[in-house]
Amino acid sequence: MNRRGSSTEAPAFHAVDIIRAKRDGHELTNAQIDWVIAGYTAGEVAEEQMSALAMAIVFRGLNGRELDRWTRAMINSGERLDFSSLAKPTVDKHSTGGVGDKITLPLAPLVAACGVAVPQLAGRGLGHTGGTVDKLESIPGLRAHLTNKEMLRQLAEVGVVICAPGAGLVPADRKLYALRDVTGTVESIPLLASSIMSKKIAEGAAALVLDVKVGSGAFMKTRESARELALAMVDLGRAERMITVALLTDMSVPLGRTAGNALEVAESIEVLAGGGPADVIELTVALVREMVAAVGRDDHDPADLLASGAAMDVWRSMISAQGGDPDAPLPTAHDTDVITAERDGFLQSLDARCVGEAAWRLGAGRARKEHAVQPGAGVVLHAKPGMRVQAGQPLITLHTDTPERFARAREALHGAYTIGNSAPEERPLILDRIG
């Protein structure tokens, strides 16, 4: 593992001059960008100054050269991982986040079953989108924090690791991500692209497949904005000689039938066992096909390997290697509350954002990073758009350990779905491919 520091030759600047320059629509020089990222990481640029600069970038943006330099400066704030000693090629996947997006859990062991190593660094959830680390930590005993040495050994022995990034990986992003979350600057495409890609490039995989979500439950609400983000990230990856492909996928409706940590793990295990919701299977297999093709290991059909149980074997090995018990019962919530259909008809719509908000209010998510989540909290969907329902039939079951949360979760779901006399037009799950 190789640590890279910022250049000591960069000239000194005043943060306020850099803020004013971007505020007034000027390009930042490479030296200014290097200085401000290094200074912020070291605590020499104040939080309020970086807040002001981030907001200036929201309104003024970064051009291609600025974005490339900003991303490189963030990478250079810490270490780069090195997997060159592995006998297998490495590939990673990143999702921009969505409601019920448990795809990493069945996907990573399936890619490993195809003979490709998967160093999957994942995060915790903040807000309604949930986090892969939170989901995994609902498995009794599982360790999500591994050393670089432990990661490398597990990749060599099992072929896959899903864990939290170490403190040495892109420390500039760790600070800036937390700042953006509390200053209303998360959705900025340049800041979002550099945040994602600095970590993924520093992670060191040979190839990356991006799942860029579009819709009410995603950061990017329109296909145009999602495409802009995807293009920016693909360009950043290729500039660093990383094979990079992006799929734009629909997030107007939750993925699968669950939103919540242990609930999503259980659904993922169902997929690995050969069952599970059709949309989760479709997206998992599509992304895996992109990942193995990117590194030239597409001689096996991932759908066949999933059906064979090979990915389940890898899953169990991965969980055991990280201290978890793959046979232990998952946590369940103490209390449930059922929302039923008011009339006969077809479920015509189900808003992902509202479902995510309900899961968050039930305790599946957190308002601040230091808050704990309830492993068993969340939402189970008994119907998806296009299905016929009857009056009194269960539509949604709410799960929580704190039943006083039910009222606010129901408020979040008010108007979240519609029932009509005809089935809605079927929506494609995969909207576009870039790369």
Q: Could you give the residue numbers annotated as active site?
A: 94, 173, 180, 195, 199
Per-residue CA distances from 275 to 110, 264, 335 (Å): 14, 14, 27
pLDDT over 70 percentage in the chain: 95
C-alpha pair distances (Å), 122 with each of 59, 209, 267, 301, 325: 29, 14, 19, 26, 20
pLDDT at 7 over 60: no
Model confidence pLDDT, tens digit, residues 224-245:
999 999 999 999 999 999 999 9
| pLDDT bracket for residue 55 (50, 70, 90) | very high
* Chain mean pLDDT for the chain: 93
Residues 174, 6: Cα–Cα separation, whole Å? 16
Distances (CA, A) of 343 to 52, 110, 338, 354, 390: 51, 41, 15, 21, 6
Residue 313 has a pLDDT of: 97
pLDDT confidence of residue 12? 80
Pick from 126-130, 146-150, 251-255, 375-379: least confident: 126-130
pLDDT band of residue 298 (cuts 50, 70, 90) is confident
Please determine, for residue 370, whether its predicted confidence score (pLDDT) is greater than 70. no
Percent of the chain with pLDDT over 90: 88
Dihedral sign of CA atoms 43, 48, 49, 52 in order? positive
Least confident of 175-189, 269-283, 384-398: 175-189
Q: What is the pTM of this model?
A: 0.93
For the chain, which domains are there? 2-79 (1.20.970.10), 84-321 (3.40.1030.10), 335-420 (3.90.1170.30)
Quote the CA–CA distance of 86 and 407 in Å, as a whole number.
52
